[in-house]
Amino acid sequence: MSTESENDCEHPETSKEIKLAGKLVDEVLELCDENVFGCYQCGTCASGCPFVEEMDLTPDEVIRHIILDKKEVLNSKTIWLCSTCFICAERCPRDINITVLMEALRQIVLRLSIDETEITCLSEEEKKNIPQMAFVSLFRKNIG
């Protein structure tokens, strides 16, 4: 299913090529202390994720990409669809915090001065009525 519609804001940078000098797993582990190698690919994280149907990579595939140094994960829609809901982290039988790994991947992109979202799509009414907490969260998560 498509995740974007004419109603939505622009996501200008997901197609930009992202170059990393080192190995992806090393960059990720610089930012968090999660044992990605402990993942046994059970898929529990994916089965509980409320956004999995819209994702191009499931959360368990994201872990695999990190381990296998498949840097295209940084171009995936998945890392930006993740809303930091912590369901996957709560349920992982190997106690891997996938929510934190998603944040690390976003941070790798954002720290290259690549923003993900441009707010182009809101009516005046929405600007007035959407709770501030949504704006601050989105800016914190999608804009470096």
Binding site for ligand SF4 (CB under 6 A): 39-45, 48-49, 51, 59-60, 63, 82-88, 92-94, 96, 98-99, 102
- Quote the least distance from Cβ 42 to another protein, whole Å: 17
How is residue 43 written in tokens? 């898929």
- Please give the Cα distance from 97 to 72 (Å, whole number): 21
- Quote the least distance from Cβ 36 to ligand SF4, whole Å: 8
Smaller CB distance to ligand SF4: residue 27 or 99?
Answer: 99
* Helix intervals (H) in the chain: 24-31, 44-48, 59-67, 78-81, 87-91, 98-110, 124-129, 132-142
- Asked if 142 is part of the footprint of another protein (rule: CB under 8 A), the reply reads yes
- Asked if 13 is part of the footprint of another protein (rule: CB under 8 A), the reply reads no
How is residue 82 written in tokens? 């993740």
Region for 95 from its dihedrals, namely left if φ exceeds 0, alpha if ψ lies in -120 to 50, beta otherwise: left
Q: Which of residues 52-81 bind another protein (CB under 8 A)?
A: 54, 81
- Asked if 103 is part of the footprint of another protein (rule: CB under 8 A), the reply reads yes
- Asked if 42 is part of the footprint of another protein (rule: CB under 8 A), the reply reads no
Nearest to 66 by CA among 48, 49, 45, 85: 45
- Asked if 124 is part of the footprint of another protein (rule: CB under 8 A), the reply reads no
